[in-house]
Amino acid sequence: MASFAIHLAVGKVYSKYHTILDEREFVRGIIVPDLVDNKDQSHYTLKNRGNSLESHLKSKVNLRKFLEENKVDSDYEQGVFFHLLTDYEFFTNFFDKNYIRNVSYDDFCKDLYYSYDQTNEYLEKKYYLNYYDFEVFLKQNIKKDNQEKEMKFQKTFVNVLPSEKLDLFIERIGKVNLTQLKDDILKKNNL
């Protein structure tokens, strides 16, 4: 999943271009899907993930299933939808396809968590992110992730999140019209 910093940065950009009545609820919706134990359930992950890393990543989020089960008529639900959209786009359109085709899932995860460590401070400063409203939840989640990383990762890492590309991604997703996208997804049989 995209890091909390990425999700919050994209949410900040989104709020510049769109009206949000209750920004606190919107932000709560943005972070809640990653605070649960069963992220497959909160992200509507497909059961059949395929045999390649590319298909595995593409199956992590099912936007259509989410929209079929939720009305998305509150700022909180819009935040959840926006979180899922960000993860979907992050895992299907952000990473270099050659890299994804030639790396194992374990090495991808190692590179990704290393990259989060390299970019979080940059994102916090550039997008003026603050976590005070959700500090307890985020600190618990980040501490758990860091403990798991320390036990697993003993390799040379690759930063797969170059800041320029990340900024372009954040800006592009932040401009998405969620209402239009919701209608498009429900009319089509994809995403």
Q: What is the pLDDT of residues 111-133, one digit of tens each?
A: 998 999 889 889 989 998 876 65
**Tokens 């990653």 belong to which residue?**
34
Domain extent at residue 25: 4-187
Question: Considering its fold, how many domains does the chain have in total?
Answer: 1
Distance of CA 131 to the CA centre of its chain: 16
Please state the rounded mean pLDDT for residues 14-24: 94
**pLDDT one-digit tens code per residue, 49-97:** 888 999 999 999 999 999 999 999 999 999 999 999 999 999 999 999 9
pLDDT at 177: 94
Query: Is the pLDDT score of 134 beyond 70?
Result: no
The closest of 149, 150, 12, 143 to 82, measured between CA atoms, is 12
Please state the rounded mean pLDDT for residues 10-30: 94
Contact 44, 70 (CB under 8 A): no
Distance of CA 38 to the CA centre of its chain: 15
Q: How far is it between the farthest Cα atoms of the chain?
A: 46
141: pLDDT confidence band, cut at 50, 70 and 90? low
Whole-prediction pTM: 0.85
